[in-house]
Amino acid sequence: MTGDEGDRVKAAHGPNYERLKQVKRRQDPLNVCLGNQNIQPS
């Protein structure tokens, strides 16, 4: 993910982004489930 794309994803999820990263790390650490506004596991 490029810097610009990462900023776009953060903006799309707003204040929930950090919490969603934590959920993603627990539920999908290998990033198997990805989508158009993918949240990278932290």
C-alpha dihedral over 22, 25, 27, 28, to 10 degrees? 140
Give the pLDDT of residue 3.
58
User: What is the C-alpha to C-alpha distance for residues 15 and 36, in angstroms, rounded to an integer?
Assistant: 19
How does pLDDT run across 1-42, given as a tens digit for each residue?
Answer: 555 777 888 999 999 999 999 999 999 999 888 776 667 777
How does pLDDT run across 20-29, given as a tens digit for each residue?
Answer: 999 999 999 9
User: What's 2-39 look like in SS3?
Assistant: CHHHHHHHHHHHHHHHHHHHHHHHHHCCCCCCCCCCCC
Q: How many domains does the chain have?
A: 1
| Cα radius of gyration rounded to whole Å, the chain | 10
The domain of 32 spans 1-42
pTM > 0.75 = no
